[in-house]
Amino acid sequence: MIVFGSTGQVASELKMLLPDAVFLGRAQADLNDPAACFVAIMTASPDAVINAAAYTAVDKAEDEEDIAALVNGEAPTQMARACAELGIPFVHISTDYVFDGSGETPFAPDDPTAPLGAYGRTKLKGEDGVRAIGGTYAILRTSWVFSAHGKNFVKTMLQISETQNSLTIVGDQIGGPTSAAAVAKACVRMTHQLKTEPDKTGTYHFSGAPDTSWADFAREIFVQTNRSVDVSDIPTTAYPTPAKRPSNSRLDCTATREVFGIERPAWTSDLTETLNELKVQL
């Protein structure tokens, strides 16, 4: 098996689950060169491919949409093309940012997409490319990924709380925090099933339960680490960013459960495991 990505959150977790897989980082496969991704797969002729690499700098993408489009759009399209030619499964990780975040109802996989910014547009381009190629694939949209690796909300909150005991956190964006470990396990399970059941090809959702706000997510982090930090909710308008964030990141994960037997993970339990991995003083 080949995994695109080496140091990212999900790729780091996949390394622990797939010790025999070949992991391709930037040195081995530069996603800025989509054709190289195609060649890498065709040359290795693996039994499956997981794409855990992406351009994830949401705000920076507003100024670098052309670069993000190569990495998030054209590269996975070329990966899918190689997998289709070899007749092997391709699992590609996507995002809730392909939706506009309107309403309060969880988004289903077949709901209309309407990205609010460059990051979402480029990820949608990748999805569309994979679907257009055909073959055996699973596009797995997820949200609010956290882990002991890389940059994420949990690590940011822990760092800030070292010097501050009062924080203002956005409280009107709702979604499902999802551990990278859970995403990695879902990707592996889907890959194995697709090998023998290609009819499961399609687009799926996967996020932690229950849905919550960023402010309440922060509160749980501080509760679990016994940190006395006062969190005050603020509206999104009080925390402007270059890229607009979706207010509703709820994902309907019903199909993922019904087709693959994968349940939504309890993010509070996964948070405990992440904090233990980070060796935070509890």
Catalytic positions: 119
236 HSE (CA, 13 A, CB side) = 14
DSSP letter at 8 equals S
CA distance 116 to 122: 11
The neighbour count for residue 275, using CB atoms within 10 Å, is: 18
User: Coil, strand, or helix at residue 94?
Assistant: strand
Query: Closest by alpha carbon to 214, among 143, 138, 129?
Result: 143
CA distance 245 to 154: 18
Structure tokens at 47: 């039994």
CA distance 188 to 184: 6
Cβ atoms of 89 and 195 closer than 8 Å: yes
Structure tokens at 258: 């019904």
- Which position has the token pair 């679907």? 131
Contacts of 36 (CB under 8 A, 6+ apart): 29, 30
Contacts of 65 (CB under 8 A, 6+ apart): 118, 121, 122
User: Coil, strand, or helix at residue 178?
Assistant: strand
The maximal CA–CA distance of the chain, rounded, in angstroms, is 56
Cβ atoms of 53 and 70 closer than 8 Å: no
